[in-house]
Amino acid sequence: MFMSEAYEDMRKKVENQNEEIGSLKKTVANLKLEEQERKTEEMKKIVEEMGQYSRNRNIEISNIPEDEKEDEEKLLEKIGKIAELGGISYQPGDIDVTHRLPSKKPGKPRSVVVQFRSRTSRNQWMQKKTTHGVTVGDLQGNEDPTMACT
């Protein structure tokens, strides 16, 4: 009987150890998952901060009339007109690139993103954010809603 008791005792110890190992494996897996989630959130935050920084020279102007055969040069002319009407110091060399965003609402002109060569140029526009009442009508020669810079 002594051997069978020793065997049974050993079997129970191995069973308990296997249960403990299983429990520890689950704990390790949960910790790894939590660490991955934490790292993912950190990376998302870093990407968001980098995105914000990369846009620190941009403004978005809405309600600029859109022409069928509009190119960047025509868009720059319109931006120059807005600057002139709004009393904003502007040189074409202040702008690095301009483009229209995808349409959010059918029938409305797409917003324009203007990326300046420097934050100083961008900040001059932002100081006169409402472009001092420059309207779409000023660009077209009639009355329409006011354009907005954001």
Tens-binned pLDDT, residue by residue, of the chain (150 aa)? 578 888 999 999 999 999 999 999 999 999 999 999 999 999 999 999 998 888 888 988 888 888 888 888 889 888 888 888 878 888 878 898 898 998 878 888 888 999 999 888 888 888 776 545 565 555 555 444 455 555
The domain boundary, picked from 31, 54, 77, lies at 54
DSSP tag of 144: -
- pLDDT at residue 136, as a whole number: 55
The tally of domains found in the chain comes to 2
Q: Specify whether 42 is located in the same domain as 75.
A: no
* Rounded CA separation 63/81 (Å): 14
pTM, whole model, 2 decimals? Answer: 0.60
Residue 134, domain CATH: 3.30.70.1820
| CA 68 from centre of chain | 28
Looking at the fold, whether 28 and 74 belong to one and the same domain comes out as no
| Domain residue limits at 36 | 1-54
Specify whether 23 is located in the same domain as 75.
Answer: no
User: What pLDDT does 115 receive?
Assistant: 92
112, 131 contact by CB (below 8 A): no
Q: How far is CA 5 from CA 2, 8, 19, 92, 131, in A?
A: 5, 5, 21, 93, 92
- 131 plus 66 within the same structural domain: yes
Q: Which of 14, 29, 54 is the C-terminal boundary of a domain? A: 54
> Is 51 buried (19+), middle (13-18) or exposed (0-12) by CB count in 10 A?
exposed
Same domain, 41 and 1: yes
Residues 127 and 97 in one domain: yes
Q: Do residue 121 and residue 95 come from a single domain? A: yes
Same domain, 50 and 62: no
